[in-house]
Amino acid sequence: MKNRVARKTYERLNAQLRQLQYELVTVIIPDITLAREHSNNEENDQLIHAKQHQQNFETRIVNLKRLIDNTEIVTSIKFTGTASYGMLVKMENDESGEVKVFRIVGEMESTEQNDVSIKSPVGVAIIGSQVGDNVEIKKPSGSQSWTVLDISLDPLFQT
């Protein structure tokens, strides 16, 4: 199953990939060349460190490419009134009265404080709920009861 992301997230992932590729060519490879020039053998610490750094970058690039290849850009979502990916869910904590708006996002998209991944404990608890539902959110600090006040489509997906 492909990872569903907004175009903004897809563009951010591609920008990260381009940045890593740029740094590999402009920083890491020149560091290896410099380390080789200042070495009388292949096993000096500077060269070993530079090669390890290159390997780390190449691994990150391969993993990011794989992630991007397994990504589906979601451009629009049909609003059904049920909490799901791409929705803003306004909820009230039944005990404290605190009101929060959670944005349900994909695993790779959680960047803001109230973004909730579809696979996180909070996301799993919220998904499928409707206005008026009571949702039990289990966290390491304990369980909390929240009431769904409103569900709306994230502006990223409004057409």
Cα of 127 vs its chain's centroid, Å: 18
- Please identify every stretch of the chain with a pLDDT value under 50, giving residue numbers as ranges: none
For position 43, what pLDDT does the model report? 63
- Token pair belonging to 80: 């059904």
Structural domains counted in the chain = 2
The answer to whether residues 134 and 147 touch, using CB atoms and an 8 Å cutoff, is yes
The rounded distance, in Å, linking the Cα atoms of 108 and 94 is 30
The reply to whether 20 and 65 lie within a common domain is yes
> Is residue 82 in some structural domain?
no
For position 129, what pLDDT does the model report? 97
Amino acid at residue number 92 = E
> Is residue 41 in some structural domain?
yes
For position 139, what pLDDT does the model report? 80
Which domain covers residue 9, as residue numbers?
Answer: 3-74
> Is residue 45 in some structural domain?
yes
> Is residue 8 in some structural domain?
yes
> Is residue 159 in some structural domain?
no
| Last-in-domain residue among 74, 105, 120 | 74
Q: Which CATH number belongs to the domain containing residue 59 in this structure?
A: 1.10.287.180
For position 56, what pLDDT does the model report? 93
| 45-54: long-range contacts, CB 8 A cutoff, minimum separation 24 | 53/28, 54/24, 54/28, 54/29
The reply to whether 67 and 105 lie within a common domain is no
> Is residue 64 in some structural domain?
yes
For position 41, what pLDDT does the model report? 64
The reply to whether 143 and 98 lie within a common domain is yes
> Is residue 96 in some structural domain?
yes
For position 140, what pLDDT does the model report? 83
The reply to whether 105 and 56 lie within a common domain is no
The reply to whether 68 and 95 lie within a common domain is no
The rounded distance, in Å, linking the Cα atoms of 47 and 35 is 5
pTM: 0.70
